Amino acid sequence: MTSPTPVPCPCSSGQPYARCCRPYHHGKPAPSPETLMRSRYSAYALDKPDYLMQTTHPTSPHWQADRAAWRIDLQVFSQSVTFVGLRILAVGANTVKFRAMLIQAGRDISFTEHSVFERVEGRWLYVKGI
């Protein structure tokens, strides 16, 4: 009997999800901004709004006090988009420039962002995109 083919990670790392972003989705702190960026992309692709909320800095323009409404907003987005791939373009001490390839309602809504992260109490958090 052959073992099942591992599910590839949505973050385009080339690794199986179980060894790539899954540990972070289950509570392991991301060791770097790039790892957090990849795990957040995967969380969007896999409809994991709680992880996205937990890894967003409270000063971020994306942070919302109404967590129930925020969760719904994240789920609506995740469920309406096809996440095609992620390409890391540059990595700094607390920044990651990336290209997210996305399709929504048959339209290409891909974008490039220069994200800023901050380490708080030993955990990297997403602050904002430039």
pLDDT digits 0-9 by tens, 70-122: 999 999 999 999 999 999 999 999 999 999 999 999 999 999 999 999 999 99
Residues 6+ apart with CB under 8 A from 108: 101, 102
CA atoms of 17 and 92, how far apart (whole Å): 25
Contact criterion met (CB below 8 Å) for 108 and 102:
yes
pTM across the whole model: 0.95
pLDDT digits 0-9 by tens, 31-74: 999 999 999 999 999 999 999 999 999 999 999 999 999 999 99
Q: What is the pLDDT of residue 4?
A: 73
Q: pLDDT category, 3, cuts 50, 70, 90?
A: low
Name which of 82, 31, 21 is nearest 52 in CA terms. Answer: 21
Q: Which domains does the chain have, with CATH numbers?
A: 17-129 (3.10.450.50)
